[in-house]
Structure 1
Amino acid sequence: MSEQPAPYDMYTAATFDEAGIPVLLIGDSASNDVFGNKTSLPVTVDQLLPLVRAVSGAARQALAIADLPFGSYEASAEQCFHTAVRFMKEAGAHAVKPEGGEEMVPEHVGAEITRSVAVPTVGIGARNGCDAQVLVWQDMAGPRTGQLPRFVKRYADVHGVLREAAQNFAADVAKGTFPAPEHTF
């Protein structure tokens, strides 16, 4: 089974690559987690290309897979091909996947599909019946706060760590202890 966190920037991609994550999925969830949209529907190819370029450029071992967002492939096989070529040629994606499908597939159906097809299957909240699992890193590591989907397991509290760092920085600036002589030219 393979893990697939969804990074959107070079530092996160390099960190996951260094951790040995074999596949990095640059998903249409960037619509929500990068651009602040309520759904993944508004994100465009032009918005995703720089994110895919950042991730694929930082990954040394991991496979960088780009989502083809809604509206970028459904009209025809030719449209799908041309969109895939853009992601591979302009952004360095190693592979692409069309976004979409059934919202909720029961666990036993996911496992049966995995056994029945010759292509890898990826689940999100589908137990371990698929070949790989994907989680949006903002959900998995905790920059995102509030209600999380049931399928998310929180592995860290990046929000708390970042908030504390920002508070410490602001306090040091307010006290005049930053920048100190060793932090200036």
Structure 2
Amino acid sequence: MAKITVRHIAEMKQRGEKIPMITAYDYTTAVLADAAEIPIVLVGDSLGMVVLGHESTIPVTMDDIIHHTKMVARGNKNSLIVADLPFMTYQVDPSEALRNAARLLQEGGAHTVKLEGGENIAPTVRRIVQCDIPVMGHVGVTPQSVNAFGGYRVRGRTAQQASQIVKDALALEEAGAYAVVLELVPAPLSRLISEKLTVPTIGIGAGPDCDGQVQVLHDMLGLFTDFVPRHAKQYANLGQTIRDAFCQYAQEVKDGSFPTTRESFTMDEAILAELEDL
């Protein structure tokens, strides 16, 4: 796979080629995503829940995102690396947002940033893009607004909500976003937005008609067991596999069947004899 840039992502939409995107939070999974030729890797603030153990994405800090983005950047040399701007790192004013976006590129090694919001955040998107930092937008259910929304529920079923999501997506495109994530949006509405926008849409719980799809690594691999979102498909159940391996290891240590001579090392018996006389 050639090095992916925002230009390649735009060309994929133009060709009608679907765009896979997954999250990654460390070196090992970043290497695997690269080997699988995943074009976009997201260092999402979802790490707050699936890695750091928080109840939401809100406690995630810039230092958290930068720390994990560094790992991903070291492991993945070909995918487009997107890093989330955490809660309240871009809402105060565009200048602060620009500084934080720059940190994700300079310190973290990301290629682009992602932030949540629509019309309200469009001026900030424009300011960041004007300084040549590519921005991916995010509308529909925006997890950083979980307290305002009262939970993670589908948005866009009412005329008012649907109209606002369309306006938000168009505002992000007009502000210069190179792609827009649609999260927990009814499939027919996602199809409409995907047709209206010239930039790619990336769906998560938004139906099959988006230009691409994104999934949280821990959901698709069965690693996060607190709950399984309806929109997530488990391609493996590594959580159970790992539990079984842990149980087998613990039992073998207890009964003495691990380690064996195969996992051990030898030494010169003469040297050992000398040591016994000490």
Query: If the length of structure 2 is used for normalisation, what is the TM-score?
Result: 0.63
Q: How many aligned residue pairs are there?
A: 185
Residue 192 of structure 2: aligned partner: 112
- Counterpart of 1:133? 213
Given the alignment of the two structures, is residue 25 of structure 1 paired with residue 105 of structure 2, yes or no? Answer: no
In the alignment, which of 96, 99, 117 is matched to residue 116 of structure 2?
99
Q: For residues 88 and 74 of structure 1, what CA distance do their matches in structure 2 show?
A: 19
Q: For the residues of structure 1 that align with 2:105 and 2:226, how far apart are their CA atoms? A: 35
Q: How does 1:142-181 map to 2 (within 5 A)?
A: 142-181=222-261
Distance 1:91 1:184 in 2: 40
The corresponding residue for 1:90 is 107
Instruction: Give the ranges of 4+ consecutive aligned residues of structure 1 lying more than 4 Å apart after TM superposition.
Output: none
- Give a deviation string over 1:51-110, Cα, whole Å, max 9, x none: 111111101221111011111111222122111110001010011111353312322222
Give the whole-Å Cα distance in 2 for the aligned partners of 1:119 and 1:41: 28
Q: Secondary structure of the residue that 2:243 maps to in structure 1?
A: helix
Matches within 5 A, 1:11-90: 11-90=28-107
- Contact 1:43–1:69 (CA<8 Å) still a contact in 2? yes
Would the aligned equivalents of 1:114 and 1:131 in 2 still touch at CA under 8 Å? yes
> After superposition, what is the alpha-carbon deviation per residue over 1:95-148, rounded to whole angstroms, capped at 9, x for unaligned?
111135331232222222222223222110111222221111111110122532
* Residues in 2 aligned to 1:146 and 1:41: alpha-carbon distance in whole angstroms: 18
Q: Does 1:184 align with 2:268?
A: no
Aligned position for 2:19 = 2
Task: Kindly indicate whether the alpha-carbon contact (under 8 Å) linking 1:17 and 1:59 is maintained by their aligned counterparts in 2.
Answer: yes
Greater mean alpha carbon deviation, residues 91-100 or residues 158-167:
91-100
The 8 Å contact of residues 186 and 207 in structure 2, kept in 1 or not, is answered as no
Separation (CA, whole Å) in 2 of partners of 1:76 and 1:129: 34
Q: How has the CA–CA distance of structure 1 residues 31 and 77 changed in structure 2, closer, same or farther, with 3 Å as cutoff?
A: same
Identity %: 37
* Distance in 1, Cα, partners of 2:25 & 2:263: 30
Q: Identify the structure with bigger relative contact order (alpha carbons < 8 Å, sequence gap 6+).
A: 1
Which 5+ residue runs of structure 2 have no aligned equivalent?
Answer: 1-17, 118-138, 142-154, 156-184, 266-278
Given that 1:28 and 1:40 are in contact with CA atoms closer than 8 Å, whether structure 2 keeps it comes out as yes
Please, what is the CA RMSD of the aligned residues?
1.5
**Is the CA contact (8 Å cut-off) linking 1:69 and 1:99 kept in structure 2?**
no
Distance (Å, rounded) in 1 between the aligned partners of 2:214 and 2:203: 6
Structure 1 window deviating more from structure 2 (44-53 vs 141-150): it is: 141-150
List alignment gaps of at least 5 residues for structure 1: none
Structure with greater proportional helix content: 2
| Aligned residue among 188, 191, 203 for 1:123 | 203
TM-score by length of 1: 0.93
